[in-house]
Structure 1
């Protein structure tokens, strides 16, 4: 099996090697605590109602002039519920709720643009859900027409959408392509029928292949595939076959997510038989083998769970040091502000994070009352920005110089002394290396990037850890 060498600096060139010692199951169990995914810092449990619609409006009016924006649009509907899902979504079997929601989304787009006060450039648009492809062709056209009316969509902007290929029509694909779609992320998970039945996600490989062919037919050539490990009844052979068959589609990026079993937060996950879930050792083996197959096929590992062709922009961002992480995961987006649109959508401005009402009725009530549907968020303080910087460096590049981070934020490097001391045991266990103020996670510690990052988290308390999924 091939693995990847350490990344000593963000701009380092990464290449395959076979000589990296992998962590043992004993070490993984030792450090496999419940920690955040660190798609933000401070993390979502620390959002509060102190960030009101008025606060968000002020933040919008103070956006940096001339800098492009990134937009995230959330569509909180699916036509069936996948039992592994951790997203904010509702099953709908009639077109009317979706149609009403699109009307509300258009009003929010108008409201946000008016609050900003001028027609800003946009460098990236991402549609997630739920299933954004539940929209029909006419609704796709309406949404993008309204976006272009209110914002200046740059000619080189990346427009991405998360796709459920089941029941997806060519008409909808054509509508997205006409709207400027340049990248599609296709949900696959696993191709074994027994695994699919256990997670209520029946999707043949032929369905996925047809979706890929239609996208390419309409000029959408940047494709991501989302796979999962840690699913019920999933074995190494199943996962190998899933990776093998989907690599034949030649995706530009592959995400291999670990299933997060949190039935105390997502009640529908109680429908998944817990005795069929793999344990820590099995999950680690699944992750390790999947990563090895992908690296052996020429893909570069990106952070915790992404893999990209060396020619893809995400691999370029890793090489050149401008990879980032946000609520969509690893991203090449460099805009200083990400505006969340739609129910439950999370956004970030230089001043802080915001989140809209999670449920559609309250979201709709705010829109109908001509108010921004912001329900909570968190302002980013000086210490928060510094710790966020350190965490992102670890999560993206597996290395951070805490002295440089502290200096960049006007702090004394000693602020990180306690964090460094907490990592000493992991260094002794061969998971990372500490040289002065630089922490470098070794390949053996890649599955524990979240655990390493957690030492820089000033908010994390043991009483809150039950909210989070296991690190591995």
Structure 2
């Protein structure tokens, strides 16, 4: 690793799936504030819905999600009942019939919801919202749980995109991360989904896992190419055992160092490009006919808590424990533990634990960061004026980009910042220069690459 790579790749910076980032949410925003935000939401805004199901049959060692093990269906069924009640509660404040452009089920493993529970939730959503004809209805799936029966059920419910957690196809790596999942299992999952008519398929891959080598990750990309998902997300494993104690099951000595992480990321990226995928932002790839590649070229690519997205809805409504929502007024997050979330919903209270109201400065910086993260450039002056602000308020942040300019990783033209090809792997570092909150808190973040 060169000195330059080491200086940027090892910095701890947020992933910027929101701004301000979640560590800066606070308890001053509660269910009462959220109720007012919902009631004041412009009826012309399309909505995006996120439903979080925090259960898996077992927890993989690498997992950074808010989830827990559930070997029996009883807690999942009880959770589904509370989801139904939360939908009714939100609609009471929001009003019925709002247009929905995107639905995303995450977790956890949302397909653990028994058929009756899942279909009741979808029916409740349809009864309270208006699904647009162009609706993208996506779900995250563990390939080990996908059967033809499940695929048919999802398709019948209107699901048209599935995201499969592949991570890595190497048996040794799988053993080290506690996820035995042979290629044949993923292949059967893809076949079942396509047979049911769900042909928009994403794969999630990871680099930086224990025992990964250049050869193993290239083999994973080659097997991915054979199954031809429309999108691939290539995430860097974030080793945060101080936050996720089960990650202590991973042998830290087997984790690749900073230099090896860069080599793994670069090798996988090059192989995906060679396989015909187009790079989308920092860590996504898409085939030319996928809607995400189209969004990149028509300027509508966005970034939210699912990462890069085609979702342009004006508000995101989160359901389920720990889920995060976004409205024009700010961010809200539900109670992270299932017990508190359940008690609040059953008490007819919106289960908000924390959030943050946005200032004009927040909105401007959020737009700057999103532009840098999606299209690698931002006109700071124009964005400041759009939000009724003066460039002077961003001059210090703009000046900090000078380090990357001097290193050939960025250029400036007037008040415009452009991240060079060489600087794109470190775009999170560039985004961090415009983060007015970063120095205020002691939150620990993952490395930039």
Structure 2-normalised TM-score?
0.98
Write the distance in 2 (CA, Å) between the matches of 1:321 and 1:254.
Answer: 20
Matched, 1:40 2:28: no
Matched, 1:74 2:45: no
Q: Give the drift of 1:138.
A: 1.9
Write the distance in 1 (CA, Å) between the matches of 2:440 and 2:211.
Answer: 31
Q: Give the drift of 1:28.
A: 2.0
Task: Check conservation: 1:136, 1:172, Cα contact below 8 A.
Answer: no
User: Which deviations, in whole Å up to 9, do the C-alpha atoms of 1:360-415 show, x marking residues without a partner?
Assistant: 11011001111111111000111000000000000111111111111111111122
Matched, 1:427 2:405: yes
Write the distance in 1 (CA, Å) between the matches of 2:194 and 2:317.
Answer: 29
Q: SS state of the match for residue 100, structure 2? A: strand
Matched, 1:251 2:266: no
User: Which deviations, in whole Å up to 9, do the C-alpha atoms of 1:59-83 show, x marking residues without a partner?
Assistant: 0001112221100000000001011
Q: Give the drift of 1:184.
A: 0.6
> Which residue number in structure 2 is paired with residue 139 of structure 1?
117
> Which residue number in structure 1 is paired with residue 195 of structure 2?
217
Matched, 1:30 2:3: no
Structure-to-structure mapping, 1:278-427, within 5 angstroms = 278-427=256-405
> Which residue number in structure 2 is paired with residue 159 of structure 1?
137
Q: Give the drift of 1:274.
A: 0.5
Write the distance in 2 (CA, Å) between the matches of 1:246 and 1:71.
Answer: 29
Q: SS state of the match for residue 145, structure 2? A: coil
Write the distance in 2 (CA, Å) between the matches of 1:26 and 1:253.
Answer: 33
Task: Check conservation: 2:166, 2:205, Cα contact below 8 A.
Answer: yes
Write the distance in 2 (CA, Å) between the matches of 1:433 and 1:422.
Answer: 12
User: Which deviations, in whole Å up to 9, do the C-alpha atoms of 1:330-364 show, x marking residues without a partner?
Assistant: 11111100000001000000000000011111011
Unmatched segments (≥5 aa) in structure 2: none
How has the CA–CA distance of structure 1 residues 240 and 100 changed in structure 2, closer, same or farther, with 3 Å as cutoff?
A: same
Matched, 1:449 2:433: no
Using the TM superposition, name which of 433-442 and 166-175 deviates more: 166-175
Write the distance in 1 (CA, Å) between the matches of 2:176 and 2:198.
Answer: 32
User: Which deviations, in whole Å up to 9, do the C-alpha atoms of 1:420-471 show, x marking residues without a partner?
Assistant: 2211121111111112111111121111111110000001017625x21111
User: Which deviations, in whole Å up to 9, do the C-alpha atoms of 1:85-105 show, x marking residues without a partner?
Assistant: 110000011110000000000
How many equivalent residue pairs? 448
Q: Give the drift of 1:46.
A: 0.7
Q: SS state of the match for residue 312, structure 2? A: coil
Task: Check conservation: 1:140, 1:175, Cα contact below 8 A.
Answer: no
Matched, 1:102 2:73: no
> Which residue number in structure 2 is paired with residue 185 of structure 1?
163
Matched, 1:61 2:39: yes
